[in-house]
Structure 1
Amino acid sequence: MARDSKLEVAAVNIRIPDTHLRDYDSLLDKLASLRRGVKVYGESYVAINFYNSTTKEGIFSKYTEIDIDGEWFDLESFDAAVPEKIEDISIPESLRPNLSQFYFVLDPDLHVVVFSTYAESRGLSTRSVEKYFKEALSWPEIMGVHGRVEADIIKDYGAVEEILALEDLKELHVVIRTPNADDVDKNLAEIIERRLREQQADEYEETLKAKGGHSLKPNERTEKLAKIAAENGQVRARSVVNGVTVDHNTAESPLKEVTTYKDDQAELAVFRGLAENIFAKIREVRAQFNE
């Protein structure tokens, strides 16, 4: 009997500044049209090679850049390949090995891209996608139209709540990169944006520390800041567990949806279902700021 397939998705929050064209559909279309990859680790590259402006769906491709002119290993001799064998190597200049592809979909209103992180026994890490966007969004062709665009993997809201509820919380660091003011508490957004703008800063950080036998008890404002950081930065903390100091970081807990499906189910259909689950969670959290 065939084993069920696994599919896992995560999300990245993209913010175009309000001083520039906030057209997220056009942004992704432009990234796809540039036909350019970003080195994410080792010799692995990630690129957007397809985007459909009608469905708002596209494909990330992960591939490997190899140095054809470098040293080669001969499995027959189990040693360095002799020059004569290397001369026989003929790989077209346009081809790259180890291709794996992953669906993504954009919700323009949320300015969030949900993407597959695991499909068909192949993985695409959230850090790779975040690294792709952080470099690609700095390309002159993008900045010339959309300005300085921010991108952050959305963290698990539950992980944020768990940190805030830690029994012996000693340190709390909330890091926020410029948010979209439409998504968050208006008063907090105004404070964050003003402080960043006035001091030409890229990140806003608040730190709380408890000394001696005291433990932190985050208030409502801090809880809201932490929820904002889940989408626009990260939350770091330290607590004491059985006398041992333990570090916590939401960077290690991206918001994800996971399922398995049968062979007679189309991967794209399953992906769309998981993506909508993620979008729904984000809408729910953002709605809390407007209550």
Structure 2
Amino acid sequence: MAREKKLIIGAINITIQPHTPQKYLELFKDTYKLKNAVNISGDQYGLLANMYKVDREQDELGPITGDIFKFTNIDKNAQWFNVSTNDFASADDVDSVNIPENLKPNSSRFSYIFFPEQHLLFYEGYYDGNSFGPSNAERFISRLFNVDSIVEKFGKVDVTHVPEVNALTEALKLPFKERIEMVVKTPNPDNHADAERRVMQRMRAQNVEKFEQKFKAVQGQSIELDDDLKSMAHISAKNGSFYIKGKDHNFKPIEFSTVKHPLKITEYYDPDVESAFELFVRVASSMKDVVTEWFRR
């Protein structure tokens, strides 16, 4: 029996206005055609390398999958170092370097799957010994879509990493809530998400793409969560960010931020029984509706 391997899966909520499953597929197709290498951080870049249906026989509006490649982009104009001389490389040394433009070092591959109906993208955050962290994944997807030609056609593309719902639920139970801060980007209401729909309609009517709300408790008191505030907490967690500060029953200071608690699903698999991709598709397919339901209020 082969040794079990680890796979970590993250999820990102993608929203455009107005939205339909067909529009989301067009967004991906148009972006993929650009073949843009996107800066993630420092000299790390990413590329949406391919895109195809999960199942050839599936409905036209079914999920799409493909690969994200992460690699190092070498700045050939930067100063080079010669480890033999312990000094900067000479002009002759640098001239002898010949790296084809189409070859990139330190590459790693991560699968993604996008469900246009739920506008959720699942990605491999850890595969085959390589990591693609939540903040880097969110930054890559945001920069990938928010280029001039895409924004001109689809408008601003909002990207939010899905937070860990259990951590959010526990944070809302904090007995002494001193401060709450929420950032809300225009949501795309799923079926029966009445609260999201009302927020979206109000933001559209006021020509607002993002707003912030801050609540501070009366000295010595705790903020009381009514149904509206609970709904906004879930909406901001899915479409922006949610932060709460307070104390537990022992008066120990507690802080929680959805930004610091991204959803990371860890699974283990036997490569002799199931491939990493098969596991990835299976988990993502089972989680898409679960994630949507978590934040439906």
Normalised by the length of structure 1, the TM-score is 0.89
Change (3 A) 1:112 1:190: closer
What pairs with 1:51-200 in structure 2 (closer than 5 Å)?
51-53=51-53, 55=55, 56-183=64-191, 185-186=193-194, 188-200=195-207
2:234 aligns with one of 227, 231, 246: 227
Query: Aligned AA for 1:4?
Result: E
Q: Secondary structure in 1 aligned to 2:196?
A: helix
Structure 1 stretch displaced more, 37-46 or 206-215: 206-215
Q: Secondary structure in 1 aligned to 2:109?
A: strand
- 1:84 deviates by 3.2
Query: Aligned AA for 1:208?
Result: F
Conserved in 2, the CA contact under 8 Å of 1:114 and 1:278?
no
Change (3 A) 1:54 1:118: closer
Task: Report what 2:23 is aligned to.
Answer: 23
Alignment partner of 1:209 is 2:236: no
Query: Deviations for 1:172-216, whole angstroms, at most 9, x for unmatched residues?
Result: 112211001335632x33442344334433223332221222112
- 1:152 deviates by 1.1
Alignment partner of 1:12 is 2:1: no
Instruction: Structure 1: state its 5+ residue gaps.
Output: none
Q: Secondary structure in 2 aligned to 1:110?
A: coil
What is the alpha-carbon distance in structure 1 between the residues aligned to residue 87 and residue 5 of structure 2? 39
Task: Report what 2:45 is aligned to.
Answer: 45
Query: Aligned AA for 2:285?
Result: E
Conserved in 2, the CA contact under 8 Å of 1:46 and 1:129?
no
Change (3 A) 1:184 1:211: farther
Structure 1 stretch displaced more, 269-278 or 156-165: 269-278
Identity rate of aligned residues, in percent?
25
Query: Deviations for 1:235-265, whole angstroms, at most 9, x for unmatched residues?
Result: 1111135556443211011122111122313
Alignment partner of 1:281 is 2:295: no
What is the alpha-carbon distance in structure 2 between the residues aligned to residue 184 and residue 128 of structure 1? 32
Conserved in 1, the CA contact under 8 Å of 2:118 and 2:190?
no
Instruction: Structure 2: state its 5+ residue gaps.
Output: 56-63
- 1:166 deviates by 1.0
What is the alpha-carbon distance in structure 2 between the residues aligned to residue 190 and residue 262 of structure 1? 43
Query: Deviations for 1:111-134, whole angstroms, at most 9, x for unmatched residues?
Result: 111111111111112222222232
Query: Deviations for 1:91-130, whole angstroms, at most 9, x for unmatched residues?
Result: 1122221111100001111011111111111111222222
2:264 aligns with one of 250, 253, 256: 256
Query: Aligned AA for 1:163?
Result: A
What is the alpha-carbon distance in structure 2 between the residues aligned to residue 183 and residue 92 of structure 1? 50
Q: Secondary structure in 2 aligned to 1:281?
A: helix
Change (3 A) 1:153 1:263: same
Conserved in 1, the CA contact under 8 Å of 2:21 and 2:117?
no
Query: Deviations for 1:5-39, whole angstroms, at most 9, x for unmatched residues?
Result: 21001111111212788521221122111100211
Conserved in 2, the CA contact under 8 Å of 1:24 and 1:111?
yes
Q: Secondary structure in 2 aligned to 1:23?
A: helix
Q: Secondary structure in 1 aligned to 2:208?
A: coil
What is the alpha-carbon distance in structure 1 between the residues aligned to residue 197 and residue 117 of structure 2? 20
RMSD of the alignment, in Å? Answer: 2.3
